[in-house]
């Protein structure tokens, strides 16, 4: 089930990035336009043949659009994934333990989902690296940002 986007500006941004992807050789497999319901509803969209020169590889679409890029080697996937100023969440699907571990270490992101797509929870620190942010919310780290650390030296105790 999918609801509407928040407003017209959000739909305009989605349309802009989809149109850019098509111009650069992306193929709409499903969706690709406003939904027949009107308002700010947009069709769930899948684009194949996505490439790194498309704006959507660098800009957050913030809408129901899934561009799918192809890669051959593990190193290539890491390089593409890290080729961004952002570093909030990333997801990796593999059944190979060694590969899973190598990806966890290689990806410059604050949140890593391995074989899981929705991972935020109060018990764990949520927060981005690079230009995705500063500080953590949740986890035992989540309260640190609200505390001052004060060092006190006590003398004259007659010790």
Partner 1 sequence: MLKKNSRFQRDHNFIAGAWCLADSGQTIDVFNPATGALIGTVPNSGRAETERAIAAAATAFEAWRKTTALERGNMLLKLHDLVLENQEELALLLTTEQGKPLTEARGEVASSAAYLRWFAEEGRRVYGDLIPSPIATRRLMVMKEPVGVVAAITPWNFPSSMIPRKLGPALAAGCTIIIKPSEFTPYSGIAWGVLCQEAGIPAGVVNVLTGDAAEIGKALCDSPVVRKISFTGSTRVGKILLKQSADTVKKVSMELGGNAPFIVFDDADIDAAIAGGMAAKFRNAGQTCVCTNRFYVQAGIYDRFVEKLAAASAAMKVGAGR
Q: Which of residues 52-91 bind partner 1 (CB under 8 A)?
A: 56-72, 74, 77, 80-81, 84-91
Least distance from partner 1 to the Cβ atom of residue 17, Å = 10
Residues numbered 29 to 48 that lie near partner 1 (CB under 8 A) are 29-31, 35, 37, 39-46, 48
Residues 1-30 that bind partner 1 (CB under 8 A): 1-7, 10, 29-30
Nearby residues of 85 by Cβ (< 8 Å), 6 or more positions away: 58, 130, 131
**Cβ-count burial of 56 within 10 angstroms (0-12 exposed, 13-18 middle, 19+ buried)?**
buried
* Least spacing, CB of residue 97 vs partner 1, in Å: 11
Is the Cβ–Cβ distance between 53 and 80 less than 8 Å? no
By CB under 8 A, the residues from 111 to 150 that bind partner 1 are: 111, 113, 115-123, 126-128, 131-138, 140, 142-143, 145-150
98 binds partner 1 (CB under 8 A): no
51 binds partner 1 (CB under 8 A): no
- Classify each residue of 5-43 as buried b or exposed e, where b means 16 or more C-beta atoms within 10 Å of its C-beta: beeeebbebbbebbeebeebebebeebbebbeeeebebb
Write down the least CB distance from residue 149 to partner 1, Å.
Answer: 6
Structure tokens at 67: 């561009």
């Amino acid at each position: 089930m999918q609801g509407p986007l928040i407003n017209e500006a959000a739909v305009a941004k989605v349309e802009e990035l989809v149109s850019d992807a098509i111009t650069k050789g992306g193929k709409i497999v499903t969706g690709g336009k406003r939904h027949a319901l009107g308002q700010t509803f947009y069709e769930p969209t899948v684009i194949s043949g996505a490439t790194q020169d498309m704006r959507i590889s660098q800009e957050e679409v913030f809408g129901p659009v899934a561009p799918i890029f192809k890669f051959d080697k593990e190193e290539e996937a890491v390089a593409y994934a890290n080729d961004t100023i952002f570093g909030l969440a990333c997801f990796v699907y593999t059944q190979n333990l060694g590969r899973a571990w190598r990806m966890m270490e290689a990806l410059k992101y604050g949140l890593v989902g391995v074989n899981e797509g929705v991972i935020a929870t109060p018990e764990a620190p949520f927060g981005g690296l690079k230009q995705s942010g500063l500080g953590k919310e949740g986890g035992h780290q989540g309260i640190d940002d609200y505390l001052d650390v004060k060092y006190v030296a006590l003398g004259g105790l007659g010790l």
